[in-house]
């Protein structure tokens, strides 16, 4: 296989930060026991193996569409646990006084 080039990897992924996150996540999966998707992998170096998988386009990288903001998170938690709604009401009453 040809040597890995960072500029080619970034061109495939479109973002250097996404490349780093995808590589680290896949390397952790390989270290945990996941089988590599490429034939010429290095059993002692999970990061190189993950980069080879990305270079060979064996991994599909998905990006989340929305980021939950803290206010939205509070509202969803209150909906899940009604007891939190009571606590929030108590907090607002004590703050007003």
CA dist list (Å): 29 to 20, 22, 53, 55, 92: 14, 11, 13, 17, 45
pTM, two decimal places: 0.62
Q: What is the pLDDT of residues 33-76, one digit of tens each?
A: 989 999 888 889 999 999 999 988 888 887 776 554 555 555 66
d(CA 86, CA 27): 44
pLDDT, residue 30, reads 92
């Amino acid at each position: 296989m040809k040597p890995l080039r960072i500029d080619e990897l970034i061109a495939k992924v479109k973002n250097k930060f996404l490349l780093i996150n995808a590589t680290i996540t896949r390397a952790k999966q390989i270290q945990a026991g996941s089988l590599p998707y490429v034939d010429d992998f290095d059993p002692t170096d999970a990061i190189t193996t993950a980069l080879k998988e990305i270079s060979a386009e064996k991994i599909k990288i998905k990006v989340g569409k929305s980021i939950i903001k803290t206010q939205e998170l509070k509202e969803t938690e209150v909906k899940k646990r009604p007891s939190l709604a009571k606590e929030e009401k108590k907090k607002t009453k004590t703050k007003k006084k």
